[in-house]
Amino acid sequence: MRTMTARTERRRSRRYRPPAGFRPELRRTGWRGLLDANLCAACLNLSEGGVRVLLTRPLEEGGTLRGRFDGVEVELRARYAVPAAKDGRWEAGLVFVSPDPAFRQWLRGFLIRCSPILADGRDAWGAAR
């Protein structure tokens, strides 16, 4: 007889689904960031290590962005960026680069209000990812 084992999360930190309508401000670094609009079309999920978003423009792997999450700023680096299946957007996994204590404190408080995404791809209330 076989026993079922639970699927484990392969990531270092648990992922969370942000509340509907949550969209951080993401801009390129340097002078191009002053000219561009917000690159974030939607926030798909986030964790203590980073965020997965839909971007309105392509981003190269390793590229950096400035992020503003509810008024708290952080630098992000692209771990990956691939074309998404929707409307010419790009799906990107962004890692927080040396977040300061104020950002970490804000993030932990924010994640408490979010729904955890379980290993089977559903959040705590059963909605599909």
pLDDT, one tens digit per residue, over 20-74 is 889 999 999 877 767 778 999 999 999 989 999 999 989 999 999 999 998 899 9
126 is a domain residue: no
34 is a domain residue: yes
Residue 10: pLDDT band (50, 70, 90) is low
Token pair 């509907």 is at which residue? 20
93 is a domain residue: yes
Measured from the Cβ of residue 77, the count of other Cβ atoms closer than 10 Å reads 15
Contact criterion met (CB below 8 Å) for 72 and 102: yes
Q: Report pLDDT for 3.
A: 41
Token pair 């957007």 is at which residue? 89
Decide if pLDDT at 112 tops 90: no
5 is a domain residue: no
d(CA 44, CA 36) in angstroms, rounded, equals 21
d(CA 127, CA 121) in angstroms, rounded, equals 9
65 class by beta-carbon count within 10 Å (0-12 exposed, 13-18 middle, 19+ buried): buried
Structural domain count, the chain: 1
Instruction: Give me the DSSP letters along 46-97.
Output: E-SSEEEEEESS---TT-EEEEEETTEEEEEEEEEEEE-SSTT-EEEEEEEE
Q: Check which CATH number belongs to the domain holding 78 and give it.
A: 2.40.10.220
8 is a domain residue: no
Decide if pLDDT at 6 tops 50: no
Q: Domain range for residue 58?
A: 19-116
40 is a domain residue: yes
